[in-house]
Amino acid sequence: MKTIKSALMKVAIGAAFMTGAAPAFADLIYVNGTQNAGTGLGAVSTVVTVQDNGNGRQQNNVQSGCVTYAGGNPKPTLNTSCDRDLEGGDNTAGSAGNNVYFLNTIMGLESAGELGFVVNISEGGDDTGAILTDLYLSLFNTSTNLFSFYEYTGLDKLLIGSGGVGQSGMHRFILDEAQAAAAALFCPVLAECVAGGGVQFARGTTNATPDSVSIGAFERDDDGNPGGGEVPEPGSIMLMAAGALAAGLLRRRQGHRK
């Protein structure tokens, strides 16, 4: 029954694109992931880094920032304007923490439906959490010159600090089944699509440290549901394969000795 439902959903999404209508699905699912060291700023595909503590940024205590594709190929350029009614204005200075990405440059990604965000909270002191109010993933198709948006539409969510700079972050937001199908249809050719996004935290819930959003590829089960695990990097896959091969040879040798 689920397979039939999934097929009908994909047909409906395809019909929406054929008629020029925007997909009506808007759920990024929250999944609590695992913490990995050595994958902080500069070591992951960071989309947005925001900080609301002065230095020319907004002074309303709403920490908010976005990046949008502004042209360029193969090296894309960006601006920091926001969509989906986010305020914006709190992107950190410099390019290291704010980027857009052609999908074919995202490690392990085989389909746009595997995309997901990791929100890394690095609030310090006694206040180690921040309340997320808005989060969206944007995809721009350079062939059709169209944008598509995928949003977290749940209740405002308290995200507790998850390791800070130098850590991967545990708070993951992954496309649900309908949006995964929609994204795959919207971006059939990874090299022709660019990902960006935006994030916003509630007034007064952040302090003078940056919080970031990175993008990656995430595993899905056989029914297309998000599992939350990151797609292994090629090096990890090779190590796993080598380990399995070594274990097989060891068992074979032990068998011969018997």
Are 186 and 17 within 8 A, CB to CB?
Answer: yes
Report pLDDT for 39. 43
Q: Which two tokens stand for residue 177?
A: 């089944």
Report pLDDT for 225. 52
Residue 43 CB neighbours (<10 A): 13
Torsion of Cα atoms, 48 then 52 then 55 then 58, to 10°: 100
φ/ψ (deg, to 5) at 124 = -110, -175
Q: 133 in a domain, yes or no?
A: yes
pLDDT at 86: 94
* Structure-token pair, residue 196: 């960006």
- Does residue 4 fall inside a structural domain? no
pLDDT score of 16: 41
Neighbours of 106 (CB within 10 A): 19
CB under 8 Å to 150, separation ≥6 — which residues?
A: 25, 26, 28, 136, 137, 138, 139, 175, 179, 182, 183
Q: What is the pLDDT along the chain (258 residues), one digit of tens a residue?
A: 334 334 434 433 443 443 343 443 457 888 766 655 444 444 678 899 998 765 555 666 789 999 999 999 888 888 999 999 999 989 987 767 899 999 999 988 999 999 999 898 877 666 678 899 999 999 999 999 999 999 999 999 998 876 555 455 678 899 988 889 999 999 999 999 999 999 999 988 887 678 889 898 887 665 545 554 444 333 333 333 444 444 454 454 445 545
Q: Is residue 231 part of a domain?
A: yes
Q: Tell me, what DSSP letter sits at residue 193?
A: E
Q: Which domain holds residue 170?
A: 24-257
Q: How many domains does the chain have?
A: 1
- Amino acid 42 reads G
The answer to whether residue 234 sits within a structural domain is: yes
In a domain, 47, yes or no: yes
Are 163 and 96 spatial neighbours (Cβ–Cβ below 8 Å)? no
| pLDDT for position 247 | 46
139 within domain boundaries: yes
pTM score, two decimals? 0.74
Q: Are 68 and 137 in contact (CB under 8 A)?
A: no
**pLDDT value at residue 236:** 35
- Cβ-contact 177, 6 below 8 angstroms: yes
Provide the 3-class DSSP secondary structure of residue 230: strand
DSSP code string of 57-89: S--SS--EEEEEE---SSS--EE----TT----
143 within a domain of the structure (yes/no): yes
How many Å apart are CA 230 and CA 220, to the nearest integer?
9
